[in-house]
């Protein structure tokens, strides 16, 4: 048996570390957090290293960056490697905890069905969304089946949801990806 079959690993592209190092480590406002998530998605498209999605997790108390992620589904050969899932995984590993208390997740696009399911179990207190799921679907992505009242369901579970933060910028990244002919799945 291949020994790699007994391990889960996330390998982000080479540009990721340098890009993140240049960003600083504190993002006090929701717009700053969202702009970073969108810029990650944009860089991922420009470098042709994954889908047009980025996510950032910051402390709700200090704005300190906990982790960031990008969509690496194709390059990682893993359907779970959505930006939100990568960011949640890296944040949980950096905190040595499966619960991300006092954290906020900023996602360049509203969560798909899979990521939606992971959000309440992660312990984040709030979710910021840039583009809408319909914007991703408009370029061909399958967002899965989500309950019509998904925002209310998250809020009942203690996760505050804020939508449309820098939506035009986030939607522009999706459209750029489509124009470049990126794989849609």
Cβ atoms 49, 15 nearer than 8 A: yes
Rounded to a whole number of angstroms, the distance between the first and last alpha carbons of the chain is 30
Active site residue 84: yes
Q: Which phi-psi region, left, alpha or beta, contains residue 102 (left: φ > 0; alpha: ψ -120 to 50)?
A: left
Longest CA span, the chain = 48
Instruction: Catalytic residue, from 46, 84, 104, 110: name it.
Output: 84
Cβ(5)–Cβ(16) under 8 Å? no
Find out whether 65 and 95 touch, Cβ atoms under 8 Å.
no
Active-site residues: which are they? 84
């Amino acid at each position: 048996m291949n020994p790699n079959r007994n391990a889960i690993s996330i390998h982000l592209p080479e540009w990721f570390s340098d890009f993140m190092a240049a960003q600083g480590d504190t993002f006090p406002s929701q717009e700053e957090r969202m702009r970073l998530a969108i810029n990650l998605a944009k860089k991922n498209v420009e470098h042709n290293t994954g889908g047009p999605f980025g996510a950032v997790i910051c402390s709700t108390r200090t704005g300190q960056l906990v982790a960031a992620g990008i969509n690496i589904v194709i390059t990682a050969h893993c359907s779970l490697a959505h930006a939100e899932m990568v960011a949640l995984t890296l944040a949980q590993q950096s905190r040595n905890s499966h619960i991300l208390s006092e954290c906020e997740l900023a996602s360049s696009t509203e969560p798909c069905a899979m990521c939606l399911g992971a959000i309440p179990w992660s312990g984040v207190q709030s979710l910021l969304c840039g583009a809408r799921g319909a914007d991703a679907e408009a370029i061909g992505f399958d967002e899965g089946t989500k309950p019509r009242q998904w925002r209310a369901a998250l809020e009942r579970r203690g996760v505050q949801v804020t939508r449309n933060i820098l939506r035009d910028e986030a939607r522009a990244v999706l459209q750029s990806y489509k124009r470049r002919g990126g794989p849609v799945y």
